[in-house]
Every structure is written in C-alpha cells, then in structure tokens.
Amino acid sequence: MTDLNDPSGASLRLSTDERERAVAALQAHANAGRLDGAELQSRVASARSAVTRGDLAPLFADL
C-alpha cells in the first residue's frame, strides 16, 4: 500500500485493507483526544464507504 495522504493517487480505488487502515488511524486520533465519539463515528462511516483515496483525504485534513 502506498501513502494514503499522497495527492497524486487521489483517483486510485481503495482496497478493503486500505479502508480498514484508515479506520484504525481515525481510532488512534480519537484515542489521542482529537475526535469525539460522534465525529469518530461519522468519519469511520465515511472511510468504510470511501471508493478512492481522494474520498479519504477530507477525513484527515484537520488531523
């Protein structure tokens, strides 16, 4: 897997593993106090339904 933050691959389709790694990263941010429960749930739902890397970028833009 390449870097999910790499904008050059924004249109590349995600694998299930990449989606789950994004979810794990979001959970780590929540554990660090950067996201509350509601925000985490919203972002996890978006990450699990993401199709491309570009779909994930907004979920991490402020973290």
What pTM does this model have?
0.86
pLDDT of residue 57: 94
% the chain with pLDDT above 90: 84
Q: Is residue 7 part of a domain?
A: no
DSSP 8-state secondary structure symbol assigned to residue 52: B
Does position 4 have pLDDT exceeding 70, yes or no? no
Q: Is residue 4 part of a domain?
A: no
Q: Is residue 41 part of a domain?
A: yes
Higher confidence at residue 31 or residue 8? 31
Q: Is residue 2 part of a domain?
A: no
What mean pLDDT, rounded, does the chain reach?
92
**Number of structural domains found in the chain:** 1
Range of the domain at 23: 12-60
Q: Is residue 6 part of a domain?
A: no
In DSSP notation, 14-39 reads PPHHHHHHHHHHHHHHHHTTSS-HHH
3-state SS, residue 53? helix
Q: Is residue 1 part of a domain?
A: no
Does position 49 have pLDDT exceeding 80, yes or no? yes
Nearest 5°: phi and psi at 52? -120, 165
3-state SS, residue 6? coil
